[in-house]
Amino acid sequence: MQWATVEDVQQFFQNLSFEPNDLINRERVKGLLVFSQRYMESGLRVSYLLPITDPDDVQTLAHIQAKYVAGEIDQILYDAGKYTDNAKRRELKQEAERELNSLIRLEKRLKTGILARVHSGSELHGCMIKPYFRRGQKF
């Protein structure tokens, strides 16, 4: 299931239309979206049951993913000399990374069930016992 779309990413750029002949075109954005979703899923896999299908969770992840890809595009344009220093100051990718890490470390939680963790001695063993649901969550 795809989280963010090209249109979600385009909301971060008022002056870019992602035309076929542009440095950043729709196909390149789609490729960045695929990469970023795989990257995010690899981190979320540590704490959450995948695939994540809850509509609210998908909306949250789509926002983080679009922000991450917009940050990647900022960096590409900055490196190509086609953007101002504003691209560096926005730090969208870093902000998306912080939001993703807070979900992975369970500082903030998605509605999707999380994996239980079993401690045996001093080692952490990642065994799935049962999904953990927050109090009051409907399932």
Secondary structure E strands in 19-86: none
Phi, psi of 119 (to 5 degrees): -100, 125
73-90: average pLDDT? 78
pTM assigned to the model:
0.79
CB atoms within 10 A of CB 110: 20
Residue-wise pLDDT tens digits, 12-32: 988 888 999 988 999 999 999
State residue 99's pLDDT score: 97
**Angstrom distance (rounded) from CA 55 to CA 52:** 9
Q: Where does residue 51 rank: exposed (0-12), middle (13-18), buried (19+ CB within 10 A)?
A: exposed
pLDDT above 80: residue 135? no
Query: What pLDDT digit, counting tens, does each position of 35-66 carry?
Result: 999 999 999 999 998 999 999 999 999 999 99
Closest CA to 61 of 20, 103, 94, 123: 103
